[in-house]
Structure 1
Amino acid sequence: MAKWNKKYLKPFKNIYVLSLIGFAIWMLFFDAHSWLLHHDLNKDIESLENEKAYYKSEMKKDKKSIDELTTEEGLEKMARETYYMKKPNEDIYIIEYEDSTKTKEDNE
């Protein structure tokens, strides 16, 4: 058992090996440019890139909606569906299904 300890612990008695191990530990965990800090920053970058992609897709949807509203037909369609506007000689019938209306149970 003593031979085994001497065999494997001998490199750790060298001052250069000890300083190298200490330097590696310092750089991995305690330094301002440590691996842990870079790992956290990389996760932040990834989440920000995901947000960027989401907002770009939302911008495309909004641009499509704006393009639809710039035409006369698109504007009329939005006014009829959203604000229930009508022409003077028309009647509007709103059909609501039972599962689409809110009840007191839904609000609770």
Structure 2
Amino acid sequence: MSALKSISLPGILRNKYFVAALAFVVWLVFLDRNNLLSQYQLQTEVNKLETQKNFYQTEISQTREEQQELLSSPEKLEKFAREKYLMKKDNEDLFIITTAPPKE
């Protein structure tokens, strides 16, 4: 018991308010369910999702512009159907030519 009494703590560690605040900070940083590590991971996920949101919004706007172009002109609609879906008229023959992949 005398060994414990002989250890002298600095004055700041004997202050009960400082010890309580230090324990609170340790609890928030390491032990709480919403600690700093999980907050960082969640913020990273939010940033990734916002990037995806911006990408999909630009894709949607481009698709709407293409849709407006296709619906405004029958010639463009016919060209789109021929190129994308390989459609043809009844009296036509369709030949698909593919190129060989480059040799490595």
Aligned partner letter, 1:68: E
Determine the C-alpha separation between the residues in 1 that align with 2:26 and 2:95: 74
SS state at 1:28 partner = helix
Q: TM-score, normalised to structure 1's length?
A: 0.64
Q: 1:29 to 1:44 in 2, by over 3 A?
A: same
Structure 2 partner of 1:73: 75
Higher helix share: 1
Q: TM-score, normalised to structure 2's length?
A: 0.66
Structure 1 partner of 2:23: 22
Structure 1 partner of 2:14: 13
Determine the C-alpha separation between the residues in 1 that align with 2:94 and 2:66: 24
Structure 2 partner of 1:83: 86
Give unpaired runs (5+ residues) of structure 1: 101-108
Write the deviation string for residues 53-84 of structure 1: whole angstroms up to 9, x where unpaired: 11112202211221232121111101222324
Aligned partner letter, 1:14: N
Give unpaired runs (5+ residues) of structure 2: 1-6
Determine the C-alpha separation between the residues in 2 that align with 1:80 and 1:26: 65
Superposed displacement of residue 87, structure 1: 6.6
